A and B are shown apart, each in its own frame.
Chain A
Amino acid sequence: MGVRVKRVNAVGILLLAVPLLCLLVFFLHPLATVLLRSITDAHGAFTPTNYLRLFDDPGLPRAAWHSLVIGLATTLCTVSLGLCLAMALHRSRLPGKALIRGALLLPMLAPSLVLALGLVCLLGRNGLVHRLTGLPTDIYGFWGLLIANTLYGLPQVVIIVSAALVRTPARHYDAAASMGASPWRQFIDVTIPRVRFALLAAAFLVFTETLTDFGSAVVIGGNYRVLAVEIYGEVVGQQDFAMGATLGVVLLAPALLSVWLARLAKRRQDTGDANPGRSFVPAAHPWRDMTLGGIALATLLPMVGVVATVAYVSVVKLWPYDRTLTLANYMGGMPDGYGPVATSIGMATMAACAGVLLVFALSAGLRRTPSFVAKPVQFIASLPSAVPGLVLGLGYVLAFNHGPLSGWLYGSVAIVAACSLYHYHAQAFLTMQTGMRQVPQALDDAVATSGGTALHVLRDAVWPFAAPAAISTFFYLFMRAMVTLSGVIFLVTPELGLASVTVMRLDENGFLAQAAAYAMCVVLASALALGAMRLLLHVLKDRRHVA
């Protein structure tokens, strides 16, 4: 006669319950509200009218088409250029790789619209190039948007593809070379098969992000209107929430599909050999290096140039007419002072703190749960990557501006922080989970048999391995929250200003120099955060003896 032992892991349940509840209230609930709003009328009755109205305005289907086209075009450009850059970093003998890596960091430090802003200042009708050379440059429209989106998406592609390249063991190249394969042949037969799923995953990610991008489209899209801009117009301009919600759902569909395909691609990706062995040392090949170097230069010079232009514009008296250098924009020249910057930093800190705690709890809670519970939870936790920021922001407005919590939440920094957090929840969760997976099972058991409780397991077994992931997650959330625009654009109030939104507003009204000044503040804050993260991780690595 046996005794069936039921281990009720109270700590585990609590760890799961709180983050799940927050996901429910602050993510699923707003999302559901948007979906509901799109299929109901003003009185709450179900109706398909909103979707039918989509075709009344010929501009809307055209905007949807534009979104698709710019998405595909950007994806094509970023993936091909990204592959070249990744090859330049890991399969060439180019000098100055640190410069390439540094340049690739820049787009991550600023809102997407800052790149567009820099492009406009450089190549717009009244841009620097026009002023200096007299050439009739006009960057608004499709091409400007394409360039801005490409520059913004490149770093991600390079990171994803680089990871795949680094994982390829050197001995595969050795084997190919010993059988007589030329470098080009090696590229086709060894490199491509191992990176193709990484390329696919990166492609879908860039497609989703471009499809839903709002900042660049507003600044540099011009007459090339995309769906994201239409949503903004409906909600802020026309106050037509139903229409906004409907358009949001339309945008949601391809995003969901794209993210699902990205996940499939990532799963089929080679997880690398168990023993990668010696790291790959590229052979000397001047032609390859020159080509890759040329492409890198052609791609990264504009990247650096655009950000440098923004920096330049921020220290100029009256752009573009009076270009005397001055720091006036930073000292008293800003319409709202440093308020929006401070609010952004505060909001980002809040999002990062809450985020890291919630994501840590969620990952820790999932460690010992059976898969019939774990799989749906992981799905919900990763769903935010498919939801455009605008849709989530709209959901927050609809869900929290009325109803029982509105008095407390509406207009608060907390709600903006929550929106930012859940917009980027998927990647944060992934980072934390990856860190937690490194904890050896034996360590868990060692704590248990030494007499430790579940809390001891967390402190002594999990934390040493999860600490770097926690730090990365914190700063990731901080930096994303600093630069996010589409998620929060609907949540700002006259009393609650954010730096990224202020940049957009100032640009809309033609105050480019001040816009640039705010943008540089964001860049500085992000750069400091990045530096702090790198320092912390380095110190941690030194002090700890975790491999």
Chain B
Amino acid sequence: MHLRIDDIAKAWSGHTVLDGVSFHARENEFVCLLGPSGCGKTTLLRIVAGLTAADAGRVILGDRDITALPARERRMGLVFQAYSLFPDMTAAANVGYPMRLRRDPPARIAARCSELLERVGLGGLGARFPDELSGGQQQRVALARALATEPAMLLLDEPLSALDPAIRGQLRTEIRQLQRALGIPTIMVTHDQEEALAMADTIVCMNHGRIEQAGSPRDLYERPRSRFVAEFVGRANLLPTAFVRDALPGFLERRPPGSESTYELCLRPEDVAIESNPRGEAVVEDSVFLGNLARITIAWRGRKLLVEQSGRSVLNRGESVAVDALRGVWVCA
């Protein structure tokens, strides 16, 4: 079942939250809505879920226009950031809730609950109450509950944001594996670009209620189309045309035609090669040792650039280095 969002618009008390947003999610695809706070991603998810009504536009699931359908009839599984488990029901009762609402036979409910809890790694913990479970375990229960009715789509609203970093990584992998195994199309909202890069088949990068760019993680990282995407997904050095003309003239030929200020060159930190050279043009300003890599700030022709070197760097503060760029892409400023 694939999902199509058509020109959705939404405003809260005069303030535009979503401005003509369109994209589609294919069968089995894991889509991440990525963006900073206030970009409209959660509102969009809620519109897909049916919890909020759009002012304009359509939501189409398969070949059905579900725009006017209320949330409870959409058959979508939703996992929230926190506090969505019923506090005085056990984990198993929570998972079985949607099925009880549909009046499925109790035997089937019990069987499916244990099956699902097993699947999310909580086998045997069905009798515990939410306040007896850790944050990560609670989210697993929420996930199991969302999957209980074999939904057409899975919607995740920043499910990992409230968890400890250590748990986050683990749960991230598990969610992705589960999604692949079940083949459910999934939309996840997050502001963490690392999460998006790690989990998504397609990233929809949003800002101020609009989609800046949609594509695979590699697409967005290697070929960002705007300054916003370049800076939001990964780190970037953004160099104006005049600077490129002076320092890296080789990149000019690939610059799209347009006025001086329309485009900037985006250099990823790992694509800037530096080498110790007493006659080099740049000077190392700072070097941060991060174990497997080093982040080095250099001053070059009046600009500061961020460089990443893997392995253990031997460059020191104040050293002169020669600079070259391996790859760069022009983005809209």
Contact = CB atoms under 8 A, between A and B. Distances in A.
Interface string A1-16: 1111111000000000
A440 B86 CA distance: 10
Contacts of B132: 545
Interface string B131-164: 1100000000000011001000001000000000
B241 interface: no
Contacts of B70: 7, 448
B263 interface: no
Given A2-B58, A449-B71, A545-B129, A440 B101 contact: no
Nearest to A456: B101
Given A440-B82, A450-B97, A464-B86, 18 more contacts: A3-B58, A6-B53, A440-B83, A442-B84, A443-B83, A443-B84, A445-B78, A449-B51, A449-B72, A449-B77, A450-B101, A451-B102, A544-B87, A544-B88, A545-B129, A545-B132, A546-B87, A547-B131
B287 interface: no
A2 B77 contact: no
Contacts of A460: 86, 97
B101 A452 contact: yes
A2 B56 contact: yes
A450 B53 contact: no
Instruction: Give the size range of B's interface with the partner.
Output: 35 or more
A512 to B, nearest CB: 51
B54 A445 contact: no
B231 interface: no
A460 B89 CA distance: 10
Contacts of A464: 86-88
A135 interface: no
A446 interface: yes
A294 B129 CA distance: 48
Interface string A173-185: 0000000000000
Contact of B67 (A3, A543, A547): A3
B81 interface: yes
A450 B98 contact: yes
A461 interface: yes
B53 A5 contact: yes
Q: Which of A3, A449, A452 has the most CB of B within 10 A?
A: A449
SS class of chain A's interface: helix, strand, loop or mixed? loop
Interface in B39-64: 46, 49-51, 53-58
A451 B21 CA distance: 27
B300 interface: no
B68 interface: yes
A335 B130 CA distance: 58
Interface in B81-123: 81-88, 97-98, 101-102
A98 B46 CA distance: 50
Contacts of A3: 58, 65, 67-68
